[in-house]
């Protein structure tokens, strides 16, 4: 059964004969006849009495309201899809990590809103893994997060690396580690840490980094907001490994201090212990071609590098 067959059937019922239905569609009468014959073969019943004026059979009368509903639904969905590909979607849902929501998205959002004033933006702060899961499940259109290959290494995902930033150490202003300009492994393993909760990319990054160095991290507490990190750390000897963009407010807080992670010395050599995080833009391949999402992606790409320079210059 094809939609053209249903449309031909309805045209005949509306005009009363095959000839007028053919004129309505701009095709020959034989074409209309073939469409109806194909429909009748599919259904296994005759829909019209063949006479001077097309008259519905009992089966045709039963079929008529169903055919109308199907064609109405077809018209509605084709219009919705046309509107979607024309950029007429009602909203764009973004899931992003907290630091991106705080420092990277604010300059992006007004530019997008000027380009698409009819599209309502919905931004939710989530951990990286959670954001990628809801993107995969179709609950959001875009995720701006730390990369997790378990979610992104699939054919349906489109991923752009936006920037890479260093991880630094946050501590109280009177913490013993403020005596050092840079911190090495002995210092990082000597004090208890505050870490992000499970499902956050930073927790996975820090845990993996310690494992690669064959070192153990003393986890004292798990939190999920930057305000909570700052509030707890300024109280005592806890420290936290956080990305530079998450430390902008801490730089101007006299109760807090920030230190870089420097070189680590062994008996035989001195080597660099790198720790950075990569922030990326992710969406699905089908969403990437929808005009508002495509435009949002371009704006984020254009502004990501200047944003990085702005906060790196502060650290």
pLDDT per residue over 228-268, tens digit each?
A: 999 999 988 999 999 998 999 999 999 999 999 876 544 45
Percent of the chain with pLDDT over 70: 91
pLDDT per residue over 35-65, tens digit each?
A: 889 999 999 999 988 777 788 999 989 999 9
Q: Residue 315 — pLDDT band, cuts 50, 70, 90?
A: very low
Tokens coding 243: 């990305």
Average pLDDT, the chain: 87
Distances in Å between the Cα of 276 and the Cα atoms of 26, 38, 59, 166 are: 65, 65, 70, 4
Q: Residue 123 — pLDDT band, cuts 50, 70, 90?
A: very high
Establish how many alpha carbons lie within 13 A of residue 169's alpha carbon, considering only the half-sphere containing its beta carbon: 26
> Which has more pLDDT, 311 or 223?
223
How large is the average pLDDT for residues 292-301?
A: 94
Tokens coding 94: 């973004």
Q: Could you tell me the domains of the chain?
A: 3-83 (1.10.10.10), 91-162+278-312 (3.40.190.10), 164-277 (3.40.190.290)
Dump the DSSP string for 31-47: HHHHHHHHHHHHHTS--
Distances in Å between the Cα of 279 and the Cα atoms of 165, 232, 256, 296, 313 are: 8, 26, 25, 16, 18
- Residue 194 CA to residue 186 CA, distance in Å, equals 17
Q: Cα torsion for 223, 226, 230, 232, to the nearest 10°?
A: -10
Q: Residue 305 — pLDDT band, cuts 50, 70, 90?
A: low
Percent of the chain with pLDDT over 90: 52
């Amino acid at each position: 059964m094809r939609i053209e067959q249903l449309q031909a059937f309805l045209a005949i019922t509306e005009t009363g004969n095959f000839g007028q239905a053919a004129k309505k569609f701009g095709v020959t009468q034989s074409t209309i006849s073939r469409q109806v014959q194909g429909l009748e073969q599919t259904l296994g019943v005759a829909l019209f009495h063949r006479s001077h004026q097309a008259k519905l059979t009992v089966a045709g009368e039963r079929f008529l309201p169903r055919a109308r509903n199907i064609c109405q639904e077809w018209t509605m969905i084709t219009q919705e899809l046309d509107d979607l590909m024309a950029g007429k979607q009602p909203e764009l849902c973004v899931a992003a990590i907290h630091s991106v929501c705080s420092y990277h998205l604010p300059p992006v959002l007004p530019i997008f809103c000027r380009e698409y004033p009819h599209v309502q933006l919905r931004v939710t702060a989530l951990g990286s893994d959670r954001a990628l899961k809801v993107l995969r499940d179709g609950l959001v259109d875009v995720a701006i997060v730390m990369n997790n290959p378990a979610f992104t290494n699939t054919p349906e995902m489109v991923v752009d690396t936006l920037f890479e930033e260093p991880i630094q150490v946050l501590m109280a202003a009177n913490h013993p580690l403020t005596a050092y300009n840079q911190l090495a492994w002995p210092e990082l393993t000597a004090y208890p840490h505050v870490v992000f909760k499970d499902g956050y990319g930073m927790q996975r990054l820090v845990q993996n980094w310690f494992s690669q160095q064959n070192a153990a991290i003393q986890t004292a507490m798990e939190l999920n907001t930057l305000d909570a990190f700052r509030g707890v750390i300024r109280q005592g000897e806890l420290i936290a490994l956080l990305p530079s963009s998450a430390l902008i407010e801490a730089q101007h807080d006299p109760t807090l201090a920030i230190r870089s992670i420097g070189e680590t010395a062994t008996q035989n050599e001195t080597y660099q212990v790198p720790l950075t995080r990569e922030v990326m833009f992710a969406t699905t391949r089908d969403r990437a071609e929808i005009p508002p999402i495509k435009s949002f992606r371009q704006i984020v790409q254009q502004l990501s590098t200047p944003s990085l320079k702005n906060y790196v210059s502060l650290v």
